[in-house]
Each structure stands twice: as structure tokens, then as C-alpha cells.
Amino acid sequence: MIGSEIKFSDDSAQKDSRRRSCWTPKSNSEFWLTIIWIVVIPLAGIITGMVFLGLGIQNRESSKDLDSSVDFVQLENKCTISEITFIKTIQKTGDKGKKTGCEDVYQYWFTALNLQDEDPVYQNITNDTFVSFDKHQKRDTNDCSRSTRVDPLLEVNDEVDCWRPSQPGTDLNKWYRCGNEECIKVFPPADDVDRARNIAGSQYLGGIIALSVSSGMLVIGSVITWWLRKKYYPETIASNRNLPTARFLWD
């Protein structure tokens, strides 16, 4: 009976062994560089981009139907500012503790008279004093320690326009900021609409940028890894592979 057997030369066996270990890094630094380029940084960027893009899409949907002229009605009588309370100063920081903004926060207390004449829902209201939401006021400088507190936007005894929901007692869109249960507002509700659309637009744009940059990093990382592989392990590149020599042994 005639049998056949294929045996590889020692040189071919060594090359095959090197091929099996082609992903073994030459050093720890090379290994971590590859992992960071291909997995950690791009993956983190892609996840961040997807989160911001998702929030942007969701918030654009929730804010596109906002219409302050429909959702709110201006009161016939003006409101009077009765008290102004300073809450706190906020120092905003970014990467590595860099100071990126400074804000002073105030609350404005005001009286709204004759609400009972506005809508039957207000018939049982016994207190005509209300408070605004926490109003953030930006300083001209980013460093709070290099500037003084900004003055309030209003003063005590100022008579100003104010607004109430067009349908009192119903749930309002989440973007409308209310400092009191009745959501009587001393600041224009149109400001809330602009704020909502600016936030949604920034999140949407930030998500697109993060996804685009991260995808580019993934491509660049793949090219660099291929170059390192070609440089240190040329036998693993298809164009440089040599077929192993074989010899037949006949019984």
C-alpha cells in the first residue's frame, strides 16, 4: 500500500509559529497604544456621540411644539417685585479645572393681584405672593474670584409684566421653568423656548461631531496598527507570505 505524508521544513515551521503569534506585541507600550487607538478612545467617543445625539433628537422632538404665545397668557395686571434673594455663585470649570464661566443665582419674589379674575381655577388661591425659578445671571469674566457679583435684573417695587398658563391646572411642557406650583412667571416664557431649542441643537450637533471624530480615529488607528504589523511582522501580510516548502515521502 502506498501512503503519502507532507512534512514542512524547519524554516517553514518557524514561520508558521511566528504567524500564530503575529499579534504578540513587541513591548507593553506597543500593546497599550494599539488598544487605546482601536478600542478605548474611539469606543468612548462613539458612545458619547450616540448619547448626545440621542438626547438631541429626543429634546428636539419635545421642544419643537413649544409655543409660548399659546401655552401662556399675559396677566392683565402687572406684577410687583417684593423681594430679591441671592442664592449662590457658581464657578463653572472644564477639563483640568479650567474656569469656563461664572454665574450668580437669584430668586425674585413678586405679587400677582386679582388672579381670581383671570380664571376660575384661581378662586381658592389665598396667597398672592409667588417666587420665580432660580435665575442664573452670567458674569462678564470666567473667573469668579476676579469679579464682583452682578446686580439683579430687577429691583424691589418694580412693576413688570407676568404670565400664567393658558390652561391652569394642566401639565406644562418640561422645558417651561416654574418657581411656583401655579407657574406664574415674571420672566417671559419665550426665553424658555429659546433655551430649550439651543440645548437640543447643541446636543444634536455635539453628537454628530463626536461620532464623526471617533470614526475617523478608528480608521487612523486601524491604519497605524496595519503599519506596525507590516513593520514588525511582515510575514503576516498577505503580499509577503511565502508558501511553505513541502516534500513527499513515499512508503
213-232 confidence digits (pLDDT tens): 888 887 777 777 677 667 66
Q: Are residues 15 and 121 in the same domain?
A: no
Per-residue model confidence (pLDDT) at position 250: 43
Give whole-number Cα distances, 193 to 15, 69, 160, 206, 243, in Å: 67, 10, 20, 20, 69
Q: Are residues 72 and 46 in the same domain?
A: no
Q: Which residues of 69-107 are buried (b: 16+ CB within 10 A; e: fewer)?
A: eebbbebeebbbbeebeeeeeeeeeeeeeeeebbbbebb
Q: Are residues 43 and 102 in the same domain?
A: no
State the average pLDDT for the chain. 81
Contacts of 116 (CB under 8 A, 6+ apart): 122, 123, 125
- Residue 204 located in a structural domain: no
Q: What domain range includes position 132?
A: 68-193
In this structure, the dihedral spanned by the alpha carbons of residues 216, 220, 226 and 231, taken in order and rounded to 10 degrees, is 180
Distance, CA of 23 to CA of 237 (rounded, Å) = 12
Is it the case that residue 202 has pLDDT exceeding 60?
yes
Claim: this prediction has a pTM higher than 0.75:
no
Is it the case that residue 158 has pLDDT exceeding 90?
yes
Distance, CA of 220 to CA of 141 (rounded, Å) = 39
- Residue 34 located in a structural domain: yes
Is it the case that residue 25 has pLDDT exceeding 70?
no
Q: What is the pLDDT of residues 29-60, one digit of tens each?
A: 666 666 666 767 887 888 888 898 888 888 88
